[in-house]
Amino acid sequence: MAENSLPPHSRRMGAGHRLSVLVPRPFDGPLDYRSDRPLAPGTLVRVPLGRQELTGCVWDSQPSHLPVDFRPPSKGRVIAFEKLRFITGVLEHVPPLPEDLRRFIDWVAAYGLSAPGMVLAIALRAPAQAGNMKPAMGWVRKAGPLPDSLRLTPARKAVLAALESRSPSSTAMLSEESGASAAVIRGLANAGILEECLMEASSFTERADPDHAPPILSDEQAEAAEALVAGVEERAFNVTLLEGVTGSGKTEVYFEAVAACLKQGRQVLVLLPEIVLTAQWTDRFERRFGIRPAIWHSELGQKTRRETWCAIAEGRQQVVVGARSALFLPFAHLGLVVVDEEHENTYKQEEGVLYHGRDMAIVRARLVQGAVILASATPSMETLVNVQKGRFRHEVLEARHGTAQMPEISLIDMKENGPERGQFLSPLLCESIEERMKAGEQSMLFLNRRGYAPMTICRACGHRLQCPHCSAWMVEHRRRRILACHHCEYTQPLISSCSACGAQDSLVPIGPGVERIHEEAQARFPDARLLSMASDTLTSPTAMEEAVRKISNKEVDLIIGTQVVAKGWHFPDLTLVGVVDADLGLGGGDLRAAERTMQLLHQVAGRAGRGTKPGQVMLQSYAGDHPVMKALLANDFISFMEQEAAQRRPGFWPPYGRLAAVIVSAPKERQAEELARLLAMHAPRGEGIQVLGPAPAPLALLRDRYRFRLLLRTRRDIALQPLLRRWLDGAPRKNDARIDVDVDPVSF
C-alpha cells in the first residue's frame, strides 16, 4: 500500500519485528507493520494509515482453513522491512480476538467476496472505541497461596479481606472498604499478590442456573429436547432443525439444550430475527435460568457494548441473545448457537458486508466444534433440503403446547365479499372483530405496509408521486405529515397541489398502509382500544416492551401492525387474526415470493389462539386459487414446499444450485448498462455455469444510481467464488461505476 511505503519514521533501522495487521479498510488483505516486540495473532493494535490512526488486529491468514477454492488473493508486493511504519500502540487491556473468530472473519470475507478488513470492522465495533478510552481497572487476588516472604501488615490484611467480599474491586473501592491507602494496594501488586484486570461488567459475574426452573415437558417435547441435548453433549459440530408448529414450545425445548451447554461450562449464542423480540425472550430466559442474558444489537450504548464484549471474551458472560452481528463476538468457548425463526429474511445483512446470519451461524459453530439448532414453524427451503440430504438432523413438534389448538383458517373472497369502495376491511372480518370484543378477547389486523398509503396519484393529470432518487413511489405518512421513500432517506412535507400539473387538492391516496387501516378501524369500532405496531412507530426496544406490556395486560382490544406483529409473540388472549391483504407479497417476478408469503402468513396466523381459547384467522384475498392460499387453508406447509422445490430443481435454482447477483451501478444509466454488457461478454462459461442478464435490477434506480443486474448460476458442485473473482478482477474499472456482488441473494 502506498501509505506503507512512506519514508521510515525516525526509529532505529533494522530493529524489531514484521507484523501482519488487518485494518478495518477495504484492502485485499492485511498490511505489514513493524513492532519493537513480537505480538501474538489476535492482539489489537493501533497503527498509522496515511495520516490516520486506526485500531487493527495482528493477523495470521490461513488459507488452509477455507474451502480449497476460496483462497484469498495473494499478497501484493512485499515492502522492505526498513520502510515499514511502526505500530503506535497496543490495546493492552482489551482481550485479543480468538483464533476461531479470526478464521470466521476470513471465511465470511472469502465466501461473500468482501474485503476481510470490512468484516473485521464488524467485530471491532465495540473494542475499537476502547483504544481511545481508559477502561476501568480493578484488582483481583492472584491464584495460589501467599508467599512466606510476604510481610502481612494489618493494612495489607484488610485489603485482602476486602477483596474476598468483592472482586474485582477498584483502588478507590478497596481503600474505602479496607481503610488502606492506595500505596498499600500498589505495594501488594508489586509483590505479585494482586493483579490488575478489567473492572467492567461486574454485573456479569452471576452464573445462569441450568436447574433454576426446569419445565415439565410433554412426551413429544421431551423427546425433541433429549435429541438436542445429545447434540450438545457430542462436543462436535452438528446441526438440528427443530421444526414445530407455532405455539408448540420450541423455545422451552431448546432451553434444555442451552442448559446442557451451560453445564459443560460453554457459552451459548441465541440469534433472534428482530431486536424488538429480545425483551419477551429475556423475560422467559430469566424465568427459566434465574438471570438475564447479555443482549447484543446495534442500539446498545457504547459502554454496555464494551463491557459485554469483554465479558464474552473472558468467558464471564455465558449466554448472549442478539441480532446477527453477535456472530462476530469474541466467545471464549462457544458451544451452541441457536437461530430462532431461521427462515427469516432479516438474517440477511443487505448493506456493507453481505452475509446470511443463519448460514454464517453454521460456519461459526463448525469452527468451534459446536452444535447448531435452527428453530422454525416454516423452515426455509435451504434448510429442508439439507435435512433431506441428511446434512442436518430433524426434530418435529406437531402439537401446540397444553390444550391450545391450531387456529382455524378461512378465506374471505374480496371479489365477492369485499368492502365498499374506499374501505379495506370486509363486513365479515368486521363482524368477527365485534364478536371478539364482546367476548373480551383480542384481535389483530395485519398489513405488511408502513404508512398511510403506498401511492399518491393526481386525479387531474394522473401523475404519481415518485422519489427523485429511486424508482419507487413516495409513501404518505399522515401522522408524521410527510411523504417518504422507503428505499432511501428522502422525505418531503405533504403537499396539497400536484407537482406536475399544479392542480389544487387533486392528490388522492391509493391503497392502504397500516395508518389507513388504523383510521378505518377507529371509525368502525369507536369504542375499541387500538394499538399500532409498526417498525417505524415502535423503533426502540423499550417502546416495543411498553406495547407488549399493554397487550399482555389486556389494555388493548385491537392490534394493527406490520410484519413486526407476525414474529414470535405470545399473547394468550389474542384469538382473531385478520390479514388485510393476503396477496400483497405475491406480485413481482421473484421466484421466492410464494415461499416468503407462505412463511409470513403462516407466522402471523400462528399468533391466534395460543392460550386456552381457540383461534381464528381470516385472510382477505383476491387470489383464493393461488397455491399459497390453498396451502394455508389446508394447513399443509410441507406439500407446498415440495411443489415449490419441484419448480426450482430443474433449472438448478437455489437451493439446488448456487447463485450470485452482480449489480452494476452508476450515476448515468448508459454508463451502468455499458459496463454490465461488457461484463456479460466476459462472463464465465462452461458446463453447469450460466449467466443471466444484464437486466435492470429490481430497483432500477436507487439513491441516484442506475442499477443493472447479472445473475451467475451454477450447479451445486461448482464453487462460485473463484469464478466470480476471476471474472470481476478482470473487469474494467470505470470511474463512477461500481460492481457489487451478492452471493446467495435472498430474492431472485
* Among Zn ion, ligand ADP, none, partner that 568 touches (CB below 5 to 8 angstroms by kind): ligand ADP
Q: Which is nearer to Zn ion, 178 or 456 (CB)?
A: 456
Using CB under 6 A, which of 568, 578, 615, 745 touches ligand ADP? 568
Minimum distance, C-beta of residue 446 to ligand ADP, in the bound complex (Å) = 17
Determine if residue 197 is labeled as part of a ligand binding site. Answer: no
Round to whole Å and give the CA distance between 492 and 513. Answer: 18
* Among ligand ADP, Zn ion, none, partner that 251 touches (CB below 5 to 8 angstroms by kind): ligand ADP
Q: Does residue number 570 form part of the binding site for ligand ADP (CB under 6 A)?
A: yes
Q: Which is nearer to ligand ADP, 287 or 649 (CB)?
A: 287
Minimum distance, C-beta of residue 477 to Zn ion, in the bound complex (Å) = 14
Q: CA nearest 30: which of 15, 19, 17, 46?
A: 19
* Among ligand ADP, Zn ion, none, partner that 490 touches (CB below 5 to 8 angstroms by kind): Zn ion
Q: Tell whether the torsion through CA atoms of 148, 154, 155 and 158 is positive or negative.
A: positive
Determine if residue 430 is labeled as part of a ligand binding site. Answer: no
Determine contact, residues 335/232, Cβ cutoff 8 Å. yes
Please identify the residue of the shown chain whose CB is closest to the bound ligand ADP.
Answer: 249
Using CB under 6 A, which of 61, 251, 376, 380 touches ligand ADP? 251
Determine contact, residues 558/578, Cβ cutoff 8 Å. no
Listed in sequence order, the residues at least 6 apart from 619 whose beta carbon sits closer than 8 Å to its beta carbon are: 409, 410, 411, 412, 579, 582, 601, 629, 632
Determine contact, residues 169/232, Cβ cutoff 8 Å. no
Minimum distance, C-beta of residue 489 to ligand ADP, in the bound complex (Å) = 35
Round to whole Å and give the CA distance between 203 and 138. Answer: 14
In DSSP notation, 687-698 reads TTEEEEEEEEEE
Determine contact, residues 664/739, Cβ cutoff 8 Å. yes
DSSP state of 275: G
* Stretch 415-444: interaction string toward ligand ADP, x if CB under 6 A: ------------------------------
Minimum distance, C-beta of residue 475 to Zn ion, in the bound complex (Å) = 10
* Among ligand ADP, Zn ion, none, partner that 216 touches (CB below 5 to 8 angstroms by kind): ligand ADP
Q: Which is nearer to ligand ADP, 40 or 216 (CB)?
A: 216
Using CB under 6 A, which of 168, 247, 293, 322 touches ligand ADP? 247
Number of residues located near Zn ion, criterion CB under 5 A: 7
Minimum distance, C-beta of residue 587 to Zn ion, in the bound complex (Å) = 20
Minimum distance, C-beta of residue 574 to ligand ADP, in the bound complex (Å) = 12
Determine if residue 458 is labeled as part of a ligand binding site. Answer: yes
Using CB under 6 A, which of 116, 168, 244, 655 touches ligand ADP? 244
Round to whole Å and give the CA distance between 703 and 667. Answer: 9
Determine if residue 261 is labeled as part of a ligand binding site. Answer: no
- How distant, in Å, are the alpha carbons of 276, 450, 565 from that of 538? 9, 12, 11
Q: Which stretch binds ligand ADP (CB under 6 A): 243-251, 405-413, 586-594, 635-643?
A: 243-251
Minimum distance, C-beta of residue 58 to ligand ADP, in the bound complex (Å) = 42
Grid coordinates of 536: 417505524
Peptide bond into 526 cis (omega under 30): no
Using CB under 6 A, which of 249, 330, 335, 657 touches ligand ADP? 249
Round to whole Å and give the CA distance between 716 and 657. Answer: 4
* Among Zn ion, ligand ADP, none, partner that 467 touches (CB below 5 to 8 angstroms by kind): Zn ion
Minimum distance, C-beta of residue 514 to ligand ADP, in the bound complex (Å) = 24
* Among ligand ADP, Zn ion, none, partner that 250 touches (CB below 5 to 8 angstroms by kind): ligand ADP
* Among Zn ion, ligand ADP, none, partner that 187 touches (CB below 5 to 8 angstroms by kind): none
Q: Which is nearer to Zn ion, 3 or 536 (CB)?
A: 536
Q: Which is nearer to ligand ADP, 221 or 537 (CB)?
A: 221
Using CB under 6 A, which of 32, 100, 106, 252 touches ligand ADP? 252
Minimum distance, C-beta of residue 379 to ligand ADP, in the bound complex (Å) = 13
Round to whole Å and give the CA distance between 506 and 459. Answer: 5
* Among Zn ion, ligand ADP, none, partner that 341 touches (CB below 5 to 8 angstroms by kind): none
Round to whole Å and give the CA distance between 368 and 269. Answer: 13
* Among Zn ion, ligand ADP, none, partner that 470 touches (CB below 5 to 8 angstroms by kind): Zn ion
Q: Which residues pair with 138 in a beta bridge?
A: 197
Listed in sequence order, the residues at least 6 apart from 563 whose beta carbon sits closer than 8 Å to its beta carbon are: 448, 535, 600
* Among Zn ion, ligand ADP, none, partner that 485 touches (CB below 5 to 8 angstroms by kind): Zn ion
Q: Which residues pair with 706 in a beta bridge?
A: 666, 701
The helix/strand count (H/E) of the chain reads as 21, 31
Q: CA nearest 520: which of 453, 566, 569, 473?
A: 453
Minimum distance, C-beta of residue 701 to Zn ion, in the bound complex (Å) = 8
Round to whole Å and give the CA distance between 287 and 280. Answer: 11
Q: Which stretch binds ligand ADP (CB under 6 A): 12-20, 245-253, 543-551, 688-696?
A: 245-253
Q: CA nearest 653: which of 580, 593, 592?
A: 592
Q: Which is nearer to ligand ADP, 306 or 610 (CB)?
A: 610
Q: Does residue number 401 form part of the binding site for ligand ADP (CB under 6 A)?
A: yes
**CA angle centred on 116, ends 115 and 117, rounded to 5°:** 90
Residues 443-502 that bind Zn ion (CB under 5 A): 467, 469-470, 485, 487-488, 490
Q: Which is nearer to ligand ADP, 602 or 648 (CB)?
A: 602
Round to whole Å and give the CA distance between 269 and 264. Answer: 15
Q: Which is nearer to ligand ADP, 412 or 577 (CB)?
A: 577
Question: What is the distance, to the nearest Å, from the Cα of residue 388 to the centroid of all Cα atoms in its chain?
Answer: 26
**CA angle centred on 576, ends 574 and 580, rounded to 5°:** 125
Determine if residue 57 is labeled as part of a ligand binding site. Answer: no
SS3 741: strand
Determine contact, residues 745/661, Cβ cutoff 8 Å. yes
Residues 198-237 that bind ligand ADP (CB under 6 A): 215-217, 221
Q: Which is nearer to ligand ADP, 252 or 744 (CB)?
A: 252
* Among Zn ion, ligand ADP, none, partner that 401 touches (CB below 5 to 8 angstroms by kind): ligand ADP
Q: Tell whether the torsion through CA atoms of 509, 515, 517 and 519 is positive or negative.
A: negative
Listed in sequence order, the residues at least 6 apart from 603 whose beta carbon sits closer than 8 Å to its beta carbon are: 246, 341, 377, 378, 566, 567
Minimum distance, C-beta of residue 336 to ligand ADP, in the bound complex (Å) = 17
* Among ligand ADP, Zn ion, none, partner that 488 touches (CB below 5 to 8 angstroms by kind): Zn ion
Determine if residue 488 is labeled as part of a ligand binding site. Answer: yes
Determine contact, residues 121/24, Cβ cutoff 8 Å. yes
Q: Which stretch binds ligand ADP (CB under 6 A): 60-68, 248-256, 558-566, 676-684?
A: 248-256
Round to whole Å and give the CA distance between 481 and 485. Answer: 13
* Among ligand ADP, Zn ion, none, partner that 248 touches (CB below 5 to 8 angstroms by kind): ligand ADP
Minimum distance, C-beta of residue 431 to ligand ADP, in the bound complex (Å) = 28
Q: What angle, 0 to 180 degrees and rounded to 10, lies between the N-to-C axes of helices 593-605 and 637-648?
A: 170
Binding residues for Zn(2+): 458, 461, 467, 470, 485, 488, 498, 501
Residues that bind Zn ion (CB under 5 A): 467, 469-470, 485, 487-488, 490
Residues that bind ligand ADP (CB under 6 A): 215-217, 221, 244, 246-252, 401, 568, 570
